[in-house]
Structure 1
Amino acid sequence: MVQIRSTPTISLQLTPMRIPEAVPSAGFSFANQENIDEISSTGLLLHPGEPSELVVQIKNLTQRNLQLELMVEGDFPSEWCWIGGTEGREIRPGGQMDAVLYFQIPNTYFENQEAIAPEKQEQLRLNFTNCQVVACIDRGSDREQIQEADFNLYIRPWSAYMDFLPVLYREVDFIGRFMKIFEQAYQPVIDSYAVMWANLDPLTAPRALLPFLAHWVGWPVESIWNLPQQRRLIRRAVEIYRWRGTRKGLRLYLHLYTGLPLDENLPNETDKHISITEPFGENFVIGDAQIGEAVLGGGQAFHFVVRLRPDRINSISEQLVRRIIDQEKPAFCTYELFIDNPL
C-alpha cells in the first residue's frame, strides 16, 4: 500500500539544460490561460537529432536512509529518453542525489512520411505536456511512497534566422516555425555560395568545370594527362609560366607530371629524384692545367642533363618527359635525359 503524507519525504527539482526561448503554442494573439499554465511548468526544448538533458535533483528531507527508484512517464516514445548520472539508489539523511534524463529524437522527425500522409488522422505533435518524473521511495516496504514532478517537452526545428529578428519576435513560437519554412527554401542556395571556393579550385572542382578553369589560365586540356595530373597542372599553370626557361620551372613541371618529390631540402643536386645539372668541368687555370687535359670553357655550352629516379619501373613515359623538356627549355639549349628505373 502506498502511503501519502502531507509532509514530503524528498524534494524533486527539475532543471532543463535547454529551455524554449519562444512562448510554446503562441501565435500573434495573446496566450490564453491554458498556455500560461503550461509555461509555468518545467519545459525542455528538443531539436531533431540533437541531444538534450533534464537534470533531476533529489534531496532527502528525513533523518533516515531512503531507497530510491526513478522512472519517467509520458505520452512520448520510450526510446526518446534514458536515465543516467545516478550514483546508487540510496540517499543518506539530508543528502542529495543528482540524475540526468537524456532526450534525443530522430533526425527525420519532421520528415516522417507516416505523420504527414494525407490519410493519417493524427497530426505531428510538437508539444508533450503529460510527462512526469516519478520517484518511488522504499518500494516494496510498508513505507513505500511515490512523488512526482511534471515537465513538458517542446519539439521545434532549429532556425538560424531567428538570430536576425528582434527579441520581441523571437518570443513568439509561431514566428520561429514560420521562419523555418523560408530557411529550408533558401538555405541550399546559401550553402552553395559558402562552398563556391571549392568550385573554383582545380583540385576540388567538378570534372565538368576543369576545361573552363583551364581556359582561365590558358592551359591546354589534353588526353595525355590523367585527371589528377590535369588538376595539379591547371592549379599551378601560372607558376609554370612564371618560371618557364629556368631550372626551377622545369623541375616543377616534371614534379607535377611524375609525382616525384622536389627534394628542396637536399643541397646536392645529384641526390635529388629530379636532378638537373650542367656538366661543367674546371676551366683553364694557369699553373694547374696540363697539356692534353685542359678544356677551354669548361664543357659544352648551353647543355644540361636531366636525370629522373622513379620508385617504380616504367612508371614514367620518356616520350612525354622529352615533350615537357622541349616545351620548357630555351630553344638554343641542348640536353640529355636519363631515367634510372629501380632494379
Structure 2
Amino acid sequence: MQDGQTFFSLNKRMDWEEGFDANVHMLEQGFSIQQSEKYSIHRIVRTDELDGIPPICDMTVGPGRKLILLDESANVWIYDDESRHRELLFRHGHELFSSQAMLASMSDLLVIADSSESTERRLALYSISNGQTMWAVHNWENLSLYPLSLNTKLQTANTLFITVPLDIAVGMNGSPEVPKDGRIGIIQWNSAGEVMRVYEHDAHRMPESIPISKLQDRFYTAAADGTIALLDNQLRTVTVFHEDGRDPFHFQLEQEGRFAGISIDTNHNLYIGDSGYAQQEGVTERFILKYRGNGTTLDKVTGFRGRTDKLVLDGRNRLYVFDRISGQISLLDLRARTMLLEDTQLPEAVYFSADLDTTETETTWHKIRLEADIPEETQIRFSYYTSDESEGMVDGDYVNLTNYFTDPDISVKEKLRATRDLWSEPILNPKDALLMHAKGRYLWFKIELVGSEQKSPFIRKLRVYYPRTSLIAYLPPMYQQDEEHSPFLERFLAMFSTFFDDMEDTIDRISGHFDPDAVSGPYLEWLGGWLAITEHEAWGERKLRELIKRAPELYKLRGTREGLMNMLQIYTGAEPFILEYFQFKQMQETSELRQLFTQLYGDNPYTFCVLLRPESVRTDEQRLVIEQIIEDQKPAYTEGKLIVLQPWMYADMHTYLGINTYLSEPTLLTLDQRSSMPYNTVLIDVDRDKRMDIHTRLGLDSEIE
C-alpha cells in the first residue's frame, strides 16, 4: 500500500449492521438480496401418453421417486418417469381392490384403502417389491371401515392415517349411511396393523344422515411429524390435529374455489389444491394455496396453475400434483426466488451506510475496492456523498445525515426520493473504482443490489481508501500540471496502483503462509514440500502439521535412534521398538541361540530392526511410507529392517512380553462357596466321542483315515 494511505474496511456482519438495509439477507460472510424457496414445475408426466396403461384414477410416490399408478382397471403400475420404465405390481384380475381405491406409500410398502362394497380388504398393506400382502383388515372394533381419505406421515415410514365414519347405520335402501350427528374421524395405524389413536372434532359431525357414497371425494387427509390435517371441501374447512395432545385448531377457508388435495411440508405449512373446472363461470386461474398451521394465508404457489385432485409431498418437500381429468402429474421442486423490495416491487435491495469519518476536513477520498459475486443478469450500483459537515439539507429539512439514512421509520422509497440529488452518479459493478470529486471529512454511500428472478449479487467486503494518492506524483511536473490530460493519466495509472497495492498486501501477509497452524490444503502441502514430503495424502493434515512444526528439532536428530523414533511416532501415533545389534550381541555368541537370533534379527552388526504393533501398519501404503521414513532417517552406513509384530502364541517366534504377548494369572471357576474348578480342567463326554454331528475333536477323540 502506498505511503500515508489508509482505508475503512467493512467485512464483518457487525460492520454492515451500523447502516440501514432493506430486503437484505445479512450473513457473517456478507449480504445479498433476500431470497425464498418457491415451487416451480420441474417435470410433467402425461399418463395418457403411456402406451398400454388405461386412464389413471389415483397415484402416489414410492421409493426412489418412482410413481405408483392405479388405473381404471384396478391395475397398479410402478413407473420410473426418468427411464420411462413401467411394470405391473399385481397380476391382471387380482380382485384385491377396485379402481375406487386410494393409494399411499410407506417407504417400501404400499397402502391401499378401498371403500367398495365388493372388496373384503378395506385397508391393506403390500410390499412394493413383490406385491406380497403384509396385512389386511375389513373392520376395527366391530366398526366396518369405509375409507374416505388416506395418507401417511411424511417424516416416518411406519404411520398411516385413514378418514372413516365412526358412526354407521343402515339406510332405508339397505345402504350404509352416517346417521344424524354421526362422527367423521381419523384413525392412526402403524405398519404392523395396530390402531394407535383416533382423532375427531365436533366440526365433523353430520347435521343430517347422509349415505356414505355421497361422502366420497369430500375429505382429504395430510400428515407430517406431529401434525395431521383434515380438509372438508364441502364445508370449506380445515381441522389441524396435534400428536402432542394439544387441542385441535379449526379454521375456515375464505378464498373462492373448489378445493381438493392437501399436504403438509416439513415446516408444517399447508398446501391446498383447487379442482375447479376451467369452463366454470368465474374460474380463470387455479392455484395451490399455502397456509400456516394456524390458518394464516401465506401465499399462492404461482409456479403452478391448473387443476388439482391430489397433492403428495415426499420427504424432500417435492410436491406432486395429480389432475385426474387430464391424467397429468406435475412434479414441483423448491427453487430459490429473489424477493421483491416492498416499496418498489422489484427484485432489488438497498443499503445506506453510516458516516465514515476521517476526522480531518477536506480529505480527498481515493477509491473503493469491492469483493463481490455478480452473476449474469444482476447488478451492483454504488453511489457516494462527501461533506465536511455531518448535517445537511434533505427535502427542505436540516438533519443529521447518518441519523436520517439509518432511521428505520423512514421508508426506503422516501429516502430514495428525498436524497436523489445528494448522491454521485452510480458506479456500476465496481470491483476497483476511483472516487471522483469526493472531498470532505465524512463519506456516506448507498449500495443498490439488482437481482433477477433466481439470482442475486453477493457482497463480501468493501474497502474505502483515503487520502488520494497517485503514481502521477512520481512523474515529471509537466505531466502533473497538464490540466487537460492529467485526470485521464491519473485514472490510467490507478490501474497499476491497484496492482502494486495487491503485491504489497501479499508481501505483508506472506508470513502467514509459513505458519503450519494457519494454513491448510495446498499451502500446507507446499510447506511439506520444503521437507521433501511428497506423500501428503498418506500423512494427512494433522500429522503433516505436527511434522512441520517439529522440523527444526527433528533435523538436528536425523541419523540418530531418537530422531527415527520421533518420526515414526508422529506418523504411526505409537512408540516404535528399535533393536540394535549390541543389545543381543552377547546372546548371539551363545551357540544354542545363534540360529534363532540370526533368523529373527540377522547377523549383520550394522543392521537394526524396527518393531511396530500390527495396528500401526494396516495397509501396504502405510508400510511403504514407514519404510521410506526408516530409509531417510537411518545413518548412512546402516540398514534398517521393518518388522510388523503379529499376535504370536509361540514362545520361540517374535514374542515380547508386554508388547504382543501377555501372561495372566490362573483363574478358578467358582461353583459355590465350597467348590471350584481348576483353570486347566477339560470337560468331556466320553460316551459321545467320535460322533460327527455332536462331539468331534480331530486328533483327540476322532481321526480321519
Q: What's the TM-score, normalizing by structure 2?
A: 0.20
Higher-Rg member (1/2): 2
The TM-score normalised by the length of structure 1 is 0.36
Q: Which has the higher strand share?
A: 2
Q: Which has the higher contact order (CA 8 A, sep 6+)?
A: 1
The structure with more helix, counted as a fraction of residues: 1
